[in-house]
Amino acid sequence: MAIVAPSLLAANFLRLEEDCKMLNESEADWFHLDVMDGRFVPNISYGPMIIEFIRKTTNKPCDVHLMILEPEKFAEEFKKAGADHVSVHIEVCPNLHRNIQQIKSLGMQAGVAINPHTPVSSLIDVLQDIDIVCLMSVNPGYGAQKFIPHSLSKIRELRKLIDNWNLPVLIEVDGGVTLENAKDIIAAGADVLVAGNTVFQSKDPKATISQLRAIETAKTL
């Protein structure tokens, strides 16, 4: 059974409290929180202050995805805001192992995110040190994009690495996840489904979350 992490980026910020309440009442496992700086990605979303308010609404894990340059400057702020997991992008961290150590020293789970063009092999030297790989299946920066089909091959490759080394690392797939492709994504080896528009644009978001969470399929490598 997949972990379902609805992305608040797709929520209605005029009624954010209501959307948080809906997620709390649903079968959603995590709150996925996308932070964009307008520099690493061509968009700006929100920062620690909004996450602090969201944190007050829930006891569910807050999964923070930093799409920002120099994430080490803000890690402590996100911890104070209530982040349980923080993922940083490999593409912006020249001293990635130091970033991972910093996140863990603050008492959070550490994740590494990779863009669609970044090879899975780039994770080999840190895979044993992290808790989550956030595999981007769209180009980061905007919601409502279509899933990049090649991502399935990358998920399978990553699943083999993790299983061969017997590591407790979760594969989180972020971008273009729908009810139609979720089964293939899980079958390829994903553990966590990040779903934004699929949940928040649904006529019945709670039912959609339940459907995503109920998808079961044997992983095919």
Tell me if residue 174 is catalytic. Answer: yes
Which of 16-30, 131-145, 158-172, 207-221 is predicted least confidently? 207-221
Sheet holding 109-114, edge to edge: 3-6, 192-195, 170-174, 132-136, 109-114, 85-89, 62-67, 31-36
Domain ranges of the chain: 3-214
Average pLDDT over residues 147-171: 97
Q: What is the pLDDT of residues 46-65, one digit of tens each?
A: 999 999 999 999 999 999 99
Superfamily of domain 3-214: Aldolase class I (3.20.20.70)
Q: 160-176: b or e for each residue (b if 16 or more CB lie within 10 Å)?
A: ebbeeeeeebbbbbbbb
Active site residue 37: no
Q: What is the pLDDT of residue 145?
A: 74
Is the pLDDT at 1 greater than 90? The verdict is: no
The pLDDT, as a whole number, for residue 219 is 58
Write the pLDDT tens digit of every residue in 173-183. 999 999 999 99
pLDDT at 11 over 90: yes
Catalytic-role residue among 19, 63, 174, 191: 174
Query: Choosing from 19, 29, 34, 191, which is the catalytic residue?
Result: 34
pLDDT of 167 over the 70 cut? yes
